[in-house]
């Protein structure tokens, strides 16, 4: 123990020295605030690099070193959260990063397959103090004993599983199991589906996979960023500290409702509306709605356009149909095809005017020459009235305008019964609206010609200014050396005006994740989707646009599907995009839920699926779930909370949405709402919010109401029953 403590103390001293060095580098860099562009750029890059190191050092401080590998050939390696070297880069690292290849035996070696190890040591720390050592002997011929040998190799794992919850998910780098390690380190190309029941560690595996991929493919993924999609804000808050604790910050965490820049989905749909909006058929509904915005005048009612110089112009149906066909033939999105439509309308009106103004009364050829016709065309193109007519027939639209119009009047695009569910005059956007907005953006496109013109003009001005600076420098140099031949190089000899201007352009110092969050067209390096079974077909269309390489990890459990729009089946989700070309693995061990609680949850599932087999629980607490009835449900819940609240850890009350207001009044100290503070001792949740979360104690209020509330109510109740790590209570109304 003393020897290990000395090593750990020295290791933390090294960490402190590295931290101080990085802090000094940042402090020194920030002192230099000169105007030289190259110097500013180098300073900013240095600050970003050192700040990233500081974040990694801070994250690694808690439990920096957690393992030691002793190989039969005499090699010895400590394993930790990050790799740390001394000042000699040629020497063996003081600590090997858990993601390095040489660290794999820490997670995979067994007595049957020792992978070259003689022993594996688990090191437990509290702060910077070694509190326990646990040695596993893997070479039975090695008679050396440390006194820390354990009888059960799972002691460390069980201790971690029994620890009180904090309201934040912790990393599992110290206790990654072999089946989990294989998934974490799987190749990042292609689609990997990780299925597992409650408590099997799906989310932990997915997050550690993100950390591993960023380590193994740093250059590629740090540039493109990794997207992690979660089911709700509460879940994202719960997992938010895992990747930073592993030293990784190049990851964007978001719900589907946050993946359309500029829109925050705060509204709520009815289950019926969400299901209808989530159907794949909504893509065709939106496409038809866009095409119907591309109109033409009536057969007998041409559009009259007043022109101040030429009188009334007539835009008839044939002219508009020809222009519309030409624009549609381009295959471009609506807004990008609009200039083609406008050009053909202007050409047709110009031809109309040319025939009217240049007609020879005696039937001869047109009296206007080419220059006259060009001038007429310019005047038609400059007419506000002409452009107003074009806007009426082929308007420029935003995704928000298009979807809002469809939702305000969906009749004719959806059956009347479904249209009534979807119809909404106004109100905040909902999560089910966001995939519709994204689809609309694809159908409409964005005409950025004006922005590009402005950018080109500004760039030309910068180049012209830079050329002026170089000309002045050249003139000054010529005057200085006019009486002698000089070999001294001037600025104009080593740089041209274009490159000189580029050096003074503003540099975007945002991280890849920050830039990705603001760019709807961003293509991520890898996407991880948790609770993937919950996403609608339209949500999958949105996500697949974000990852055209189909480098995706999906984690979930079809048995926990609660959303009416959820696809549930992996084939249903993936066949439109990759067919059957995906890898499917299943996690079969439940690390969270004690066997006593899992037995109750499994019986519930068997009422719907007689052959259901739950994941195998590794723990048994000896405490069966309790079940009571009460005349006053809120009062009974409050009493149970007071009785069951653990001294350490967290308690959750899970109830049907309609009961939450009464329970919130009865539990004034409980956290609740769309994104509750899960670090509070008591949290009040509806079943959908509880997905992916875990608590020491769970009280389920009115389980029958949860079951009957939605078509997937059995799945929602199954989720509620499997959130507890220690104790479960059910409180039913009389």
The string of DSSP codes covering 125-193 is EETTEEEEEEEEE--TT-----S-B-S-TTHHHHHHHHSPP-SSPPP-TTT--HHHHHHHTS-SSSEEE
Residue 609: CA count within 13 A, CB half-sphere:
13
Determine the pLDDT at residue 454.
Answer: 66
- Encoding tokens for residue 124? 């437990």
- In this prediction, residue 473 has a pLDDT band, given cuts at 50, 70 and 90, of low
Does 36 have pLDDT greater than 80? Answer: no
Whether pLDDT at 495 is above 70? no
Tokens for 351, please give them. 């031809």
pLDDT at 492 over 60: no
Rounded Cα distance between 101 and 181, Å, is 12
Residue 575's pLDDT is what?
95
pLDDT of residue 489 exceeding 50, the answer is: no
Question: Which of 234-248, 281-295, 332-346, 412-426 is the least confident region?
Answer: 234-248
Say what the pLDDT of residue 457 is.
75
Structure tokens at 278: 């989530």
Above pLDDT 90, what percent of the chain? 66
Which residues, listed in sequence order, are joined to residue 653 by a DSSP beta bridge? 684, 699
DSSP-derived letter for residue 295 is -
Whole-angstrom Cα distance, residue 686 to residue 704? Answer: 14
Extended strands (E) in 495-614: 526-529, 552-556, 583-587, 589-590
Show contacts of 568-574: CB within 8 Å, 24+ apart: 568/533, 570/193, 570/195, 572/537, 573/532, 573/533, 573/535, 573/540, 574/191, 574/193
**Tens of pLDDT, residues 406-419:** 999 999 999 989 99
- Average pLDDT, stretch 452-465? 71
pLDDT band for position 481 (50/70/90)? very low
CA-wise closest residue to 349 among 308, 320, 391, 329:
320
pLDDT of residue 506: 57
Q: Which of 152-156, 178-182, 250-254, 391-395 is the least confident region? A: 152-156
pLDDT digits (tens, 9 = 90+) for 162-216: 888 989 998 889 889 999 999 999 988 899 999 999 999 999 999 999 999 999 9
Q: Quick one: three-class SS letters along 40-103?
A: HHHHHHHHHHHHHHHHHHHHHCCCCEEEEEEECCCCEEEEECCCECCCCCCCCCCEEECCCHHH
pLDDT confidence of residue 162: 86
Mean pLDDT of 35-60: 74
pLDDT in the model for residue 505: 57
Q: What confidence category does residue 26 fall into, taking pLDDT thresholds of 50, 70 and 90?
A: confident
Q: How far apart are CA 690 and CA 683, in angstroms?
A: 10
Q: Compute how many other C-beta atoms are within 10 angstroms of the C-beta atom of residue 351.
A: 15
Contacts of 507 (CB under 8 A, 6+ apart): 41, 44
CB 279 within 8 A of CB 538: yes
- Cβ proximity of 484 and 454 under 8 Å: no
CB-based contact 377:253 (threshold 8 Å)? no
Residue count of the chain: 734
Alpha-carbon distance values, 490 to 39, 424, 496 (Å): 20, 67, 11
Do the beta carbons of residue 315 and residue 301 sit within 8 Å? no
Q: Identify whether the C-beta of residue 727 lies closer than 8 Å to the C-beta of residue 696.
A: yes
CA distances from residue 116 to 74, 75, 96, 185 in whole angstroms, order as listed: 10, 10, 17, 20
Q: Are 683 and 676 within 8 A, CB to CB?
A: yes
Q: Which residues, 6 or more positions from 356, have their beta carbon under 8 angstroms from its beta carbon?
A: 310
User: Which residues are bridge partners to 729 per DSSP?
Assistant: 626, 699
The residue whose two tokens read 């309308």 is 345
Q: What is the DSSP letter of 411?
A: B
Residue 488, pLDDT above cutoff 50: no
Torsion angles phi and psi, residue 36, rounded to 5: -60, 125
Computed over every residue of the chain, the mean pLDDT equals: 89
pLDDT recorded at residue 352: 92
In angstroms, rounded to a whole number, what is the distance separating the alpha carbons of residues 392 and 516? 35
Mean pLDDT of 568-575: 91
Would you place residue 621 in the very low, low, confident or very high pLDDT band (cuts 50, 70, 90)?
Answer: very high
Backbone angles phi, psi at 706, to 5 degrees: -60, -45
Per-residue pLDDT at 227 exceeds 90: yes
Residue 508 is predicted with a pLDDT of 64
Query: Which H or E run contains 696?
Result: strand 695-701
* 487 has a pLDDT exceeding 60: no
Of 672, 729, 733, the C-alpha closest to 702 is 733
What does 655-673 look like in DSSP terms, one character per residue?
--GGGHHHHHHH-TT-B-S
Cα separation, 17 vs 22, whole angstroms: 9
DSSP secondary structure letter of residue 507: P
pLDDT at position 424 is 94
Task: Say how far apart CA 6 and CA 647 lie, in whole Å.
Answer: 34
pTM equals 0.86
Q: How confident is the model at residue 158 (pLDDT cuts 50, 70, 90)?
A: confident
Q: Residue 401: is its pLDDT beyond 80? A: yes
Q: Is the pLDDT of residue 220 over 90?
A: no
Give the HSE-up count for residue 437: Cα atoms under 13 Å, Cβ half-sphere. 21
How many DSSP H helices and E strands does the chain contain?
29, 20
For the chain, the C-alpha Rg in angstroms (whole number) is 33
What CA–CA distances, in Å, run from 198 to 77, 504, 528, 601? Answer: 35, 55, 18, 10
Sort 141 into a burial class: Cβ within 10 Å, 0-12 / 13-18 / 19+: exposed
Is 404's pLDDT higher than 50? yes
For 243-290, the pLDDT digits (tens) are 888 878 789 999 999 999 999 899 999 989 999 999 999 999 999 999
**Is residue 722 within 8 Å of 692, Cβ to Cβ?**
no
Answer for the pair 79, 65: CB distance below 8 angstroms, yes or no: yes
Which of 8-17, 58-67, 107-116, 687-696 shows the lowest per-residue confidence on average (mean pLDDT)? 58-67
């Amino acid at each position: 123990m003393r020897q290990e403590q000395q090593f750990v103390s020295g290791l933390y001293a090294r960490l402190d020295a590295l931290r101080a060095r990085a802090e000094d580098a940042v402090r020194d860099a920030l002192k230099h605030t000169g105007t030289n562009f190259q110097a500013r750029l180098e300073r900013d890059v240095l600050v970003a690099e050192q700040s990233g190191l500081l974040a990694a050092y801070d994250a690694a401080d808690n439990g920096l070193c957690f393992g030691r590998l002793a190989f039969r050939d005499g090699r010895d390696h400590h394993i930790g959260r990050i790799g740390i070297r001394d000042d000699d880069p040629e020497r063996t690292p003081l600590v090997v990063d858990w993601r390095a290849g040489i660290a794999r035996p820490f997670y995979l070696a067994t007595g049957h397959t020792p992978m070259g190890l003689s022993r594996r040591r688990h090191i437990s720390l509290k702060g910077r103090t070694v509190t326990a050592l646990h040695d596993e002997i893997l070479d039975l011929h090695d008679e050396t004993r440390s006194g820390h040998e354990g009888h059960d190799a799972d002691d460390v794992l069980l201790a971690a599983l029994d620890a009180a919850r904090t309201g934040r998910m912790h990393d599992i780098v110290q206790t990654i199991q072999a089946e989990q390690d294989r998934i974490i380190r799987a190749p990042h190309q292609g689609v990997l589906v990780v299925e597992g029941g409650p408590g099997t560690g799906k989310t932990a595996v997915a997050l550690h996979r993100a950390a591993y991929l960023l380590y193994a493919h740093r250059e590629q993924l740090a540039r493109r960023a990794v997207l992690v999609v979660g089911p709700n804000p509460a879940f994202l808050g719960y997992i938010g500290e895992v990747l930073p604790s592993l030293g990784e910050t190049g990851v964007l965490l978001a719900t589907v409702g946050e993946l359309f820049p500029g829109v925050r989905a705060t509204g709520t749909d009815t289950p019926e509306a969400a299901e209808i909006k989530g159907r794949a058929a909504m893509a065709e509904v939106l496409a038809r709605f866009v095409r119907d915005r591309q109109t033409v005048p009536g057969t007998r009612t041409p559009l009259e356009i007043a022109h101040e110089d030429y009188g009334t112009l007539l835009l008839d149906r044939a002219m508009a149909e020809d222009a519309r066909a030409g624009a549609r033939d381009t295959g471009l999105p609506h807004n990008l095809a609009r200039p083609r439509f406008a050009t053909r309308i202007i050409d047709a009106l110009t031809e109309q005017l040319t025939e009217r103004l240049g007609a020879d009364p005696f039937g001869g050829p047109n009296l206007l020459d080419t220059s006259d016709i060009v001038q007429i065309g310019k005047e038609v193109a400059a007419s506000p009235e002409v452009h107003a007519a074009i806007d009426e027939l082929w308007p420029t639209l935003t995704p928000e305008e298009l979807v809002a119009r469809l939702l305000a009047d969906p009749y004719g695009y959806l059956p009347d019964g479904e249209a009534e569910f979807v119809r909404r005059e106004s109100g905040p956007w909902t999560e089910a609206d966001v995939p519709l907005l994204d689809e609309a953006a694809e159908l409409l496109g964005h005409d950025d010609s004006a922005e590009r013109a402005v950018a080109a003009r500004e760039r030309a001005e910068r180049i012209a200014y830079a050329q002026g600076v170089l000309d002045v420098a050249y003139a000054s140099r010529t005057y200085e050396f006019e009486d002698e031949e000089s070999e001294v190089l001037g600025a104009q000899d080593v740089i041209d005006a274009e490159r000189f201007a580029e050096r003074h352009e503003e540099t975007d110092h945002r991280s890849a994740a920050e830039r990705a969050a603001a760019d709807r067209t961003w293509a991520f390096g890898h996407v991880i989707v948790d609770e993937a079974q919950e996403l609608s077909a339209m949500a999958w269309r949105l996500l697949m646009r974000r990852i055209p390489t189909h480098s995706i990890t999906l984690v979930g459990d079809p048995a926990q599907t609660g959303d009416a729009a959820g696809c549930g089946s992996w084939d249903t989700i993936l066949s439109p995009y990759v067919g059957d070309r995906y890898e499917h693995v299943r996690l079969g061990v439940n690390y969270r839920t004690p066997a006593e609680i899992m037995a109750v949850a499994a019986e519930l599932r068997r009422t719907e699926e007689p052959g259901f087999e739950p994941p195998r629980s590794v723990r048994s607490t000896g405490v069966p779930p309790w079940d009571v009835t009460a005349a006053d449900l809120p009062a009974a819940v409050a009493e149970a909370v007071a009785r069951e609240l653990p001294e350490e850890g967290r308690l959750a009350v899970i109830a049907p949405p309609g009961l939450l207001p009464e329970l919130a009044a009865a539990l004034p100290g409980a956290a609740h709402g769309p994104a509750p503070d899960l670090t509070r001792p008591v949290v009040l949740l509806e079943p959908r919010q509880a997905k992916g979360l875990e608590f020491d104690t769970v009280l389920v209020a009115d389980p029958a109401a949860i079951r009957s509330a939605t078509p997937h109510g059995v799945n929602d109740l199954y989720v509620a029953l499997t959130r507890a790590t220690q104790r479960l209570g059910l409180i039913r109304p009389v």
